[in-house]
């Protein structure tokens, strides 16, 4: 069992060495882009949720009497 784990970890190390890593400046830039896009989408979903909840409350208020 231990030999299989060691073999697996060695294989992982070899595969990690094959990866082409981005330079830090590009990584930072891309990370900021992702954070901005996710934030914008979150705000849009929040606004849509707020609007739908108001519409639903109005609809249920009219139906309930």
pLDDT in tens, 50-65: 999 999 988 887 776 5
Do the domain assignments include residue 37? yes
Give the per-residue pLDDT at 36: 98
Domain extent, residue 26, equals: 20-64
Do the domain assignments include residue 32? yes
Do the domain assignments include residue 5? no
Do the domain assignments include residue 10? no
Do the domain assignments include residue 14? no
pTM score, whole prediction: 0.63
Longest dimension (CA), the chain: 72
User: Position of tokens 């979903």?
Assistant: 45
Percentage, residues of the chain above pLDDT 70: 97
Domain count, the chain: 1
């Amino acid at each position: 069992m231990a030999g299989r784990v060691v073999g697996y970890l060695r294989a992982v190390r070899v595969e990690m060495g094959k990866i082409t890593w981005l330079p830090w400046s590009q990584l930072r830039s891309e990370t900021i882009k992702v954070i901005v896009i996710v934030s914008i989408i979150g705000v849009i979903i929040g606004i849509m949720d707020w609007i739908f909840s108001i519409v639903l409350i109005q609809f249920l208020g009219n139906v309930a009497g």
